[in-house]
Amino acid sequence: MKVLVVGGGGREHAICWKLSQSPHITRLFCAPGNGGIESVAQCVPIAATDVEGMVNWAKGHAIDFVVVAPDDPLALGMVDAMEAAGIPAFGPTADAAVIEASKIFSKNLMKKYGIPTAKYEAFTDLDSALAYVDEQGAPIVVKADGLALGKGVVVAQSVEEAREAVRSMMCDHRFGEAGAKVVIEECMTGPEVTVLAFCDGEHLLCMPSSQDHKRAYDGNQGPNTGGMGAISPSPNYTAAVAIQCMRDIFLPTVAALKAEGRPFKGVLYFGLMITPEGPKVVEYNARFGDPECQAILSLLDSDLLEIMAACRNGVLHQVDIRWKSGAACCLVLASGGYPGSYVKGYPIIGISEAEETAVVFHAGTMLADDGTLQTNGGRVLGVTATGADLNAAIDAAYQSAKCIHFTDMHYRTDIGRV
Ligand code: AMP
Ligand code: GLY
């Protein structure tokens, strides 16, 4: 089979790396890909959001199966467009991906179906939003409605900070159209856990739990990022919590989407907080998380293409998914300055040494004309190691990362320890 993966970050590198182990695949392509994905797939220079360009290319190259990994093309309906062109595709339709693309949609869905989440109100009018902040007091959470690269959320510790967040989203258009509407919600407390599940529209199969580290600096300080590192499984996800989540959150969500005429096929991401009143949903995503994907897929023992095809064909209950025992850690090496501005184009050294004990997934890298590997993004690499237990995996990831160098490289030293 000829398979095309859409996207070009660390998550897509991990997906391509895993798919490249499938005996069903004769040719693997990735668009746009990156400097590291080149080693497992042929990169094609088409932007991930270019739906028409992607469909035309896939048709022209007789692609048998497409995997759409990032949020934007899913929200733009790339899966719908591929299927309409007769090309089977993995991922939710735009109608189902709205569970991530609109926080107002997902909050209303949870309210309608009694799925536990933070109490909230949605606003399109600045004065009403500010009045609600004043009335509720702090701490309080302000979220842009639409997609904002994981950065459209402000957990405000004071009323002034919350008012400022509302103003910057609604008046200064800090997140463009994504912030024209906002959700203001109750601030929950407790450890955060992520659970990803393969879904076929009706059934779901959970992957091992995971935990992202969204803040830029140690001790969960500094600005929110796309994610600075992930571990799997999460020590906070006990067997008792898993049973509660399945009954109160996972099954009701899949059933709700089906009942709304938006059956979800693909990877459904449950961002959870284990609050004193039990697990609650912080957010849904309609795809693999990045960097959670890198940690989780390094524990997958089965053929990823078979699982993805079963999701698309609505026969997930027929596949047997095996996971390796033990744990995994993905440590993100970022450009100095990320998530703010940073310089690109620094040479990267030491990856082959690091790969003696880990797998290094590339996120923001490119191969320069002279063949050297250079930094080309905020999150540059995801050093991913497995081990017999979490401590062993974390130690191995840090040990391997020591081999890698580029100017102003920044990473957290406490992934899996906070
Ligand atoms: P989100 O993009 O919705 O996942 O939000 C980013 C981060 O903000 C989450 O991982 C949480 O740490 C935090 N957060 C979001 N919503 C809440 C909430 N209602 N209460 C407390 N923290 C929250
Ligand atoms: N790591 C969080 C996300 O992918 O949204």
Say what the pLDDT of residue 110 is: 97
Ligand 2 centroid to Cα of residue 413, in Å, is 19
Share of the chain above pLDDT 70, in %: 98
Is the distance from CB of 272 to CB of 192 less than 8 angstroms?
Answer: yes
Nearest listed ligand to the Cα of residue 192: 1
How confident is the prediction for the chain on average, in pLDDT? Answer: 95
Distance CA 49, CA 70 (A): 9
Say what the pLDDT of residue 149 is: 59
Say what the pLDDT of residue 313 is: 98
39 falls in which pLDDT band (50, 70, 90)?
very high
* CATH number 3.30.1490.20 given to 119-186: yes
Q: What angle do CA 299, 300, 302 make, to 5 degrees?
A: 155
Closest CA to 416 of 191, 244, 239: 191
pLDDT beyond 60 at 376:
yes
Say what the pLDDT of residue 303 is: 98
| Beta strand 182-186 pairing with 153-156 | unpaired
* Residue 279 β-bridge partners: 274
What is the tens place of the pLDDT at every residue in 156-183?
999 999 999 999 888 877 666 666 789 9
Say what the pLDDT of residue 179 is: 63
Ligand 1 centroid to Cα of residue 153, in Å, is 7
What is the tens place of the pLDDT at every residue in 323-365?
999 999 999 999 999 999 999 999 999 999 999 999 999 999 9
Closest ligand 1 atom to 150 CA: 2
Angle in degrees, 0-180, between the axes of helices 251-259 and 103-113, rounded to the nearest 10 = 100
What is the tens place of the pLDDT at every residue in 207-245?
999 999 999 999 999 988 999 999 999 999 999 999 999
> Residue 90 CA to chain centroid, in angstroms?
15
Tokens for 190?
């407790």
What is the tens place of the pLDDT at every residue in 263-287?
999 999 999 999 999 999 999 999 9
Mean of the pLDDT values across residues 68-74?
97
Ligand 1 centroid to Cα of residue 155, in Å, is 7
Say what the pLDDT of residue 178 is: 64
For the entire predicted model, the pTM comes to: 0.94
147 falls in which pLDDT band (50, 70, 90)?
confident
Pocket flag, ligand 1, residue 282 (CB < 6 Å): yes
Is the distance from CB of 227 to CB of 293 less than 8 angstroms?
Answer: no
Closest CA to 326 of 258, 389, 255: 389
* CATH number 3.90.600.10 given to 327-401: yes
Give the residue with greater pLDDT, 153 vs 392.
Answer: 392
Domain covering 2-94 in this structure, CATH number? 3.40.50.20
Say what the pLDDT of residue 148 is: 66
Ligand 2 centroid to Cα of residue 225, in Å, is 9
Is the distance from CB of 112 to CB of 256 less than 8 angstroms?
Answer: yes
What is the tens place of the pLDDT at every residue in 357-371?
999 999 999 999 998
CB-hemisphere CA count at 13 Å for 242? 16
Helix, strand, coil percent values for the chain (each to nearest 5): 35, 30, 40
Establish whether domains 2-94 and 119-186 are of one fold: no
Pocket flag, ligand 1, residue 185 (CB < 6 Å): yes
Question: Strand ranges (DSSP E) for 207-351?
Answer: 211-212, 215-217, 221-224, 229-232, 265-275, 278-285, 327-334
Say what the pLDDT of residue 153 is: 87
State the SS3 of 257-291. HHHCCCCCEEEEEEEEEEECCEEEEEEEECCCCCC
Ligand 1 centroid to Cα of residue 19, in Å, is 32
Distance CA 324, CA 297 (A): 10
Pocket flag, ligand 2, residue 38 (CB < 6 Å): no
Distance CA 152, CA 154 (A): 7
pLDDT beyond 80 at 26:
yes
Four-way CATH pick for 192-318: 3.40.1350.10, 3.30.470.20, 3.30.360.10, 3.90.470.20? 3.30.470.20
Say what the pLDDT of residue 156 is: 94
140 falls in which pLDDT band (50, 70, 90)?
very high
Tokens for 242?
């898993």
What is the tens place of the pLDDT at every residue in 284-297?
999 999 999 999 99
Domain ranges of the chain: 2-94, 119-186, 192-318, 327-401
pLDDT beyond 60 at 150:
no
Question: For 307-312, which contacts have Cβ atoms below 8 Å and span 24 or more sequence positions?
Answer: 307/198, 308/65, 308/67, 308/90, 308/198, 309/65, 309/88, 309/90, 310/198, 310/200, 311/90, 311/198, 311/199, 311/200, 311/265, 311/266, 312/65, 312/88, 312/89, 312/90, 312/200, 312/265
Closest CA to 396 of 356, 361, 369, 366: 356
